[in-house]
Structure 1
Amino acid sequence: MHGYPNLPFESELLPKLIIQIPCYNEAETLAIALSDLPRTVTGFDSVEWLVIDDGSSDETVRVAEENGVDHIVRHTSNRGLAYAFMTGIETCLARGADVIVNTDADNQYHAGDLPALTRPVLEGRADMVIGARPISEIEHFSLVKKLLQKIGSWVVRVSSGTDVQDAPSGFRAISRNAAQRLIVFNNYTYTLETIIQAGRKNMRVVSVPIRVNGDLRPSRLVKSIPSYLKRSIFTIVRIFVIYQPARFFGMVAAILFGLGFLIGLRFIYFYLTGTGGGHIQSVILAGVLMSMGFQSLLVAFLADVIAANRKLLEDIRYTQRATQGEVGNYAPARNNKNAG
């Protein structure tokens, strides 16, 4: 197959690559990012560009059109980065992409590393590839941000069972099969959830080192360190609850029941030593905590049943997308080659 005998694709033709860029008021930087994107990538028969305009109020769409973007899909209002990412995934699938690359409109990631990013997917070694930035060498990252990036990536590695080195990185390549399985529930960002989801679905996730360009604008997601930290923690906990509910609520049940049991033992000790009369509050607290623990255990069982049903629905959704042409659930993309 044209020098790539191990390509995981059924067609004898080289696969199609679509590079998607979620945008929200990116008129000032989008042209710079597009000027660096390649029109040919080794291993691909065609390379197309897709811009997802997430309700921009500036000239983002005009800039995209003037710079030859193949497909533009627009949200009538700002829906958030995660929703824009999924709009892109749905549109890429509908346009016949075999591999999807996601990148940012601020030209943060070095486009010259795109072949290295897609190679593991082409060779069948990965379902998702995450570009790992040299965090410690990025000058405009504060020491606190660098530390949080490393801690966050470690938490995601533990939660997902993967070896991802730079979890917040938005520069990633995704196979068609993996893209069909992705569902993002979070409105804030897709980066952490997609990795944890991929790991829990036994997808092969690998990291490759990439370079970064100079800083063109401040991050839209990291408005402040406390806000970013709070949102990231909430995202990780929420994903953990969604994908491992029995374990999460089981841990809560064990903690509550254990505390109640220990407090109960404390009262029994005082009672047996003849001083239990002044510790009736311990009996009440122990009863409340143990009751809450038992209720949490019941919730764990119910949540596990719901999670099983969710997995069945996801499998049905995947089968439908794979057999019915994967028509997206979002606004239709406009093909600029035919615009007129």
Structure 2
Amino acid sequence: MALKKIIIYMPAFNEQDTIYKVLKSVPKMYDGFDEVELLVVNDGSIDKTEEEAINAGAKVISHNHNQGVGKAFQTAVNYALTHHAQVLVSIDADGQFDVNQIIEMITPITEKLADFCTGIRFQQGKPENMPKVKYWGNNLVSHIVSFVSKTKIQDASCGFRAYNRDCLYNLNLQGDFTYTHETILDLLHKNYKISQIPVIVSYFDGRISRVANNILKYGFKTSTIIFKCLKDYKPLQFFLYIALFIFGLAIFSGGFVLLHWINNNSITPYKSIGIISLALTGMSLLLTVYALMADMLGRIRDNQEKILYFQKKTYFENNK
């Protein structure tokens, strides 16, 4: 019988002060698993992060420069599949999360109640020392992800998560900056079951987030990822909504010109508005055609992802 292996993964960028202690505090045994491996993806650190992680007994994969937590996660997923892990847990290397809650994160997976789990940091409201603007931004993103996925997501940005092996086969991510929102949207789109677990989090006063150190930059980049996911997973609705909005502008401006013509038997001096209205009508029709084409391409994409899933599964299962 094959060993049941769990990999505890941490992305790290200049975490020399905390990573050794965090790694050493991770429980080394879990019911149902014969092997526990610690994995650190050293994302271009310029301090002693790699050395500290190795000293703590972790396997370290180093990027030659900082590529972002999204790219680090993709590296971890590939490693977990290559080394035949049944469960991959991701947790931060800075000690914000309680490593003893890993068991709570993996229990719904081992009991077949969920395919992947994500933490909820806001069960009791805003955590102490968390900036209000960041708390507000996280809630906004969670509402957007909930709208797109049609599933109530309470904390779409939490990096404390667990995935079963089948989820890892089916993840095909595009974002380098972050992965948290894209993984939820991707896996829910593919009908995987999610479990959301309240977790304890500590925000250290004065500490700067590696991902959200600039709220405007973070908001722009995460919005771009969600925007792309909406386009990819709901292409028909995406382009139709835009087409309907533009058609509404055309009707409004065209109706104004029409009323002026009925009352004055002339469209002067609003001829340009009439021309714009016709152009907007044409644009909305063109976008409707795009919507139908995008829907067709979306179905082709879904079929390609299914083929890729079986190819990856066959490849990794046959290379044990």
1:188 aligns with 2:177: yes
Q: Which runs of 4+ in 1 moved over 6 A?
A: none
TM-score, length-normalised on structure 1? Answer: 0.88
The partner residue of 2:37 within 41, 45, 48 is: 48
Distance in 2 (alpha carbons) for counterparts of 1:34 and 1:110: 12
Query: 1:237 and 2:212 equivalent?
Result: no
Q: Gaps (5+ residues) in structure 2?
A: none
Amino acid at match of 2:12: C
Indicate the residue corresponding to 2:289 in structure 1. 298
Q: Distance in 2 between matches of 1:246 and 1:74?
A: 41
Q: Is the partner of 2:89 in helix, strand or coil?
A: strand
Find out whether 1:267 has 2:284 as its counterpart: no
Question: 2:298 matched to which residue of 1?
Answer: 307
RMSD: 1.9
| Farther-moved stretch of structure 1 (290-299 vs 136-145) | 136-145
> Please, which runs of 5 or more residues in structure 1 have no aligned partner?
1-10, 329-340
Distance 1:60 1:224 in 2: 23
The letter of the residue matching 1:81 is V
Distance, in Å, in 1 between the alignment partners of 2:126 and 2:283 is: 48
> Is 1:78 the equivalent of 2:66?
yes
For 2:266 and 2:42, how far apart are their aligned partners in 1? 68
CA distance change for structure 1 residues 83 and 327 in 2, over 3 Å: closer, same or farther? Answer: farther
Change (3 A) 1:118 1:73: same
Alignment of structure 1 residues 1-340 onto 2, 5 Å: 15-69=4-58, 71-134=59-122, 136-213=125-202, 215=204, 217-278=207-268, 279-325=270-316
CA contact (8 A) 1:20 1:51 kept: yes
Structure 1 residue 327: Cα displacement: 9.3
State TM-score, norm by structure 2. 0.93
SS in 1 for 2:267: helix
Question: Partners of 2:172 and 2:97 in 1: how far apart?
Answer: 24
Q: Using a 3 Å threshold, how does the CA distance of structure 1 residues 150 and 214 change in structure 2: closer, same or farther?
A: closer
Once structures 1 and 2 are overlaid, which stretch shifts more, 284-293 or 319-328? 319-328
Tell me how far apart the structure 2 counterparts of residues 218 and 327 of structure 1 sit (CA, whole Å). Answer: 44
Alpha carbons of structure 1 residues 125 and 276: separation in structure 2 relative to 1, 3 Å: farther
Question: How many residues get paired?
Answer: 316
Aligned-pair CA distance for 1:176: 0.4
Deviation at 1:167, TM superposition (A): 0.9
Report deviation, 1:275.
4.7
Tell which deviates more after alignment, 270-279 or 98-107. Answer: 270-279
Displacement after TM superposition at 1:38 (Å): 1.1
Counterpart amino acid of residue 291 in structure 1 = G
In structure 2, the residue corresponding to 1:33 is in which secondary structure? helix
Structure 2 SS opposite 1:277: coil
- Structure 1 pair 286/137, CA: closer, same or farther in 2 (3 Å)? closer
**C-alpha displacement of 1:306:** 2.1
Tell me by how many angstroms 1:162 deviates. 2.3
- State the alpha-carbon separation in 2 of the partners of residues 165 and 277 from structure 1: 53
Give how far 1:326 is off: 6.3
Percent of aligned pairs with the same amino acid: 31
**Given residue 127 of structure 1, which amino acid in structure 2 is its aligned partner?**
D
Deviations 1:282-331 (A, max 9, x none): 21011111111111112212222222222222111110111111699xxx
